[in-house]
Amino acid sequence: MGCEVTVCGPPTLVPRAIAELGCSVRYDLAGIERADVIYALRVQRERIAGIVAPSLREYVERWQIDGRRLRPGQVVMHPGPVNRGVELASEVCDSPQSLIVDQVEAGVAVRMAVLYELLAGAGGDGARLSAGREQEAPQPA
């Protein structure tokens, strides 16, 4: 698609094999000014239990995207929910550069479409999923 993807994050939170997908990896935010799109993810405290991770204060100081780190023309995306003041400063979430609300709204529609396809079958042919197996709907006699 002609995109360069760089994954940035603390070393203990970046998946080890991510570079195998063809992206570059940085453990700092140097170079973020070159990005056209910044796609932030939520710090999921519930998933990092037992992992050596930066404290919340350290994370905010080193990794939070705030107005000082954005350049004009960059857009910010986030799938939600946002931990305001952690991965993104409120000023960024509420800025004209933020596409977060649009992204979350579109995500709901996409999930609805996927569920519809899974439950109704492609083209409305009546295929159903049951316990992880696709089954045909009963045919009229």
**Is residue 28 predicted with pLDDT exceeding 80?**
yes
Token duo for residue 22? 């063809």
What is the structure's pLDDT at 40? Answer: 96
Task: Assess whether pLDDT exceeds 60 at residue 6.
Answer: yes
Domain boundaries, the chain: 6-98, 101-141
Furthest-apart CA pair in the chain: how many Å?
A: 68
CATH classification code of 6-98: 3.40.50.1370
pLDDT above 80 for 20: yes
Q: Please report the pLDDT score of residue 139 as a whole number.
A: 61
Residue 80 has pLDDT above 80, yes or no: yes
Kindly tell me if the per-residue pLDDT of 135 is higher than 60: no
